[in-house]
């Protein structure tokens, strides 16, 4: 390869690299649509019946004094008299799935918890 050709190749490579680096807008677009997907999943879980005859989050939290909004969830961590400790919003949601919706024990950080948390933050 001649020196001239390799200089040209380096130049082209630099342009391609610069194009990637200078387009954070696209990465943000991806991040936005990923979040939208997670919120959508959370919305589906909001009305999911974990067991036949069990109540969903929506049954108890869509209206009335227990209406659950982002503002309410944002008040966590706080002391929870049922968990008997200062708990995070995720810990409270996990407790609700198990105790109130007859669902499984969900690990903190599990996709389902993140999805429910993300959805509730849009309410
Ligand atoms: C049978 C009714 C019922 C169901 C079903 C239920 N909850 Fe609850 N939830 C309650 C009640 C009552 C409280 C308040 C008492 C308490 O803290 O346990 C509460 C409290 C909460 C809180 C704390 C609210 C605050 O104001 O700080 C969160 C968060 C929550 N629930 C999320 C959920 C999610 C998510 C689901 C679905 C997986 C769910 N709950 C299902 C009745 C229910």
Ligand 1 atom at minimum distance from 78 CA: 27
Ligand 1: which residue has its CA nearest to atom 13? 66
Distance 35 CA to ligand 1 centre (A): 23
Rounded Cα distance between 58 and 119, Å, is 12
Q: Is 97 in the pocket of ligand 1 (CB under 6 A)?
A: yes
Distance 73 CA to ligand 1 centre (A): 10
Is residue 12's pLDDT more than 70? Answer: yes
pLDDT digits (tens, 9 = 90+) for 58-83: 999 999 999 999 999 999 999 999 99
Domains located in the chain, CATH noted: 35-120 (1.10.760.10)
Identify the CA nearest to 44 among candidates 123, 119, 121.
119
Specify the residue for token string 């961590």.
77
Enumerate residues 6+ apart whose C-beta is below 8 A from 50.
97, 101, 102, 103, 104
Element housing 79 (H / E) = strand 78-80
Residue spans of alpha helices (H) in 22-110: 24-46, 57-61, 70-74, 89-99
Q: Is 39 in the pocket of ligand 1 (CB under 6 A)?
A: no
Enumerate residues 6+ apart whose C-beta is below 8 A from 116.
42, 45, 46, 57, 93
62 or 21, greater pLDDT: 62
Relative orientation angle of helices 24-46 and 111-120, to the nearest 10 degrees: 90
Q: Is 96 in the pocket of ligand 1 (CB under 6 A)?
A: yes
Is residue 108's pLDDT more than 70? Answer: yes
């Amino acid at each position: 390869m001649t020196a001239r050709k390799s200089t040209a190749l380096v130049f082209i490579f630099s342009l391609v690299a610069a194009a990637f680096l200078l387009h954070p807008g696209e990465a943000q677009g991806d991040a936005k649509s990923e979040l939208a997907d997670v919120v959508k999943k959370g919305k589906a879980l909001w009305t999911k019946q974990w067991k036949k005859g069990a109540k969903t989050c929506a049954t108890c939290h869509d209206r009335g004094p227990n209406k659950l909004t982002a503002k309410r969830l944002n008040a966590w961590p706080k002391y929870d008299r049922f968990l008997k400790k200062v708990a995070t919003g995720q810990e409270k949601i996990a407790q609700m799935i198990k105790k109130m919706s007859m669902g499984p024990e969900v690990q903190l950080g599990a996709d389902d918890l993140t999805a429910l948390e993300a959805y509730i933050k849009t309410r």
